[in-house]
Structure 1
Amino acid sequence: MSPLHALVRPVAVVAAFALSGAVSGVLWEWLWEPPTGLVVSGQWVLEPAGPDLGFSDTGWYVVIAMAVGAVLAAAIGWGFPGRELVTLAAVVVGAFVAGWLMFRVGHALGPPDPRVLAAGEADLVRLPADLRVAGSDARPSLLRPESSAFAAFPAGATLGLMAVFLMGRGRTARGQQTPG
């Protein structure tokens, strides 16, 4: 097997995850309904305040990321048996990229940051919240995520791939391919 041929699967897996992350960001923004807040003394305040309203963006992020990560990783593991360690590494790297892209695309499509807009608005003006995950900045780092929600894509992908690996798709007890 040539070195170029050996790179095809991992690059394809990472690319599939990147595409799914971007599409998941669009889905995340589409499903999320932004809560509104009020401008009070140049500050944006969520109204009515409450964790249920301020958590919907994070909740949708986690649900979508876990589901898409698990389904895509299971499909990759099922469709391309063999070279499990290479597949696992590519899935994990791809899932981190997908989670980051999901956030960036969803945040870019969502409303602007109301905390910035509130500075120039009169009191009691209603502004929608921006799309983000709890505890994150608007520009999270791919290598240094600020919220545990960013672990959803890799966690879902790892679980999906693990399920396929544990089912023993195409393997005998000795680790050899089964005929046919």
Structure 2
Amino acid sequence: MMRRFVGPALQAGLIVAVFVVVGALAGVVWERLWSPPTGVVFRGDWFLDPAGPDHGFAGTGWYVVVALVAGGVTAFVLGWFLPRRELTSLVAFAIGSMLAGWVMFKVGHALGPPDPRILAAGETDYTRLPSDLRLAGADADPLVFTFDSSALAAFPTGAMLAAVYVFLLTSRSRRT
């Protein structure tokens, strides 16, 4: 009886592990693609210069692009080549892609410049500092495991769209 669950459990573990590794690699890609906007220190506070949402959005925008592609490609490859256990794979895709999105954010944030709001306290007025790599609405604390930015849904969205394609729209006869 126990043998019946070993194969699916190993497959699910493999899927989650692959997603986490891909999430870390995607975090490196995200940080490399992003160009940090700069800001100015004034009276111990850091201000984006020029101010405006379009100047601070690049980090979130690149995150969504990289996460959608990474999630989709990962789910497509895993869904295509692993044994067909749709329910097991779908649950593992969901869990793995959520973890991958979080890992991607934490790795990219850690590789990017430090938080200028903290650095601004020790700088003189009009010193220019680069922004840190962050997502709109996400907590950058490395010990916090939260999903409070809607951009974190990009990795699971890419993975689920690829899973729908592989499991529902491709022929069952491609594998025996």
TM-score of the superposition, structure 2-length normalised?
Answer: 0.92
Deviates more, 1:48-57 or 1:2-11: 2-11
What is the CA–CA distance in structure 1 between the aligned matches of 2:44 and 2:64, rounded to whole Å? 32
AA matched with 1:71:
V
User: Offset at 1:30?
Assistant: 0.6
Counterpart contact for 1:81–1:170, Cα < 8 Å: no
Tell me what 1:174 maps to: none
SS in 2 for 1:17: helix
Shift in CA distance, 168/125, structure 1 to aligned 2, threshold 3 Å = same
Cα offset, 1:80, TM superposition: 2.0
Counterpart in the other structure of 1:4: 6
Instruction: Give CA-to-partner distance per residue, 1:14-49, whole Å, 9 cap, x none.
Output: 010000000000001111010000001111000011
Residue 130 of structure 1 aligns with which residue?
132
Which residue does the alignment assign to 1:169? 171
Per-residue deviation, 1:166: 1.9
Gaps of 5+ in 1: 172-177
Aligned counterparts, 1:31-70, within 5 A = 31-70=33-72
What displacement does 1:179 show? 7.5
Query: Percent identity, aligned pairs only?
Result: 53
Contact 1:81-1:169 within 8 A present in 2 as well: no
TM-score, normalization by structure 1: 0.90
Per the alignment, residue 147 of structure 1 pairs with 149
* 1:34-113 equivalences in 2 (<5 Å): 34-113=36-115
Q: Give the CA deviation at 1:81.
A: 4.3
Q: Which runs of 5+ in 2 are unaligned?
A: none
Deviating above 4 A after TM superposition, structure 1's stretches of 4 or more consecutive aligned residues are none
Counterpart residue number, 2:118: 116
1:27 maps to 2:32: no
Question: Residues 8 and 85 of structure 2 are in contact (CA less than 8 Å); yes or no, is this contact kept in structure 1?
Answer: no
Per the alignment, in what secondary structure is the counterpart of residue 172 of structure 2?
A: coil
Aligned residues: 173
Q: How large is the Cα RMSD of the aligned pairs? A: 1.7
Return the structure number with greater helix share: 2
> Could you tell me whether the CA contact under 8 Å between 2:59 and 2:134 is conserved in 1?
yes
Query: CA 1:179 to 1:117, structure 2 compared with 1: closer, same or farther past 3 Å?
Result: closer
Quick check: 1:36–1:129 contact (8 Å CA) kept in 2?
Answer: yes
Q: Cα gap change, 1:124/1:83 in structure 2, threshold over 3 Å: closer, same or farther?
A: same
Provide the rounded CA distance (Å) in 2 between the counterparts of 1:139 and 1:158: 28
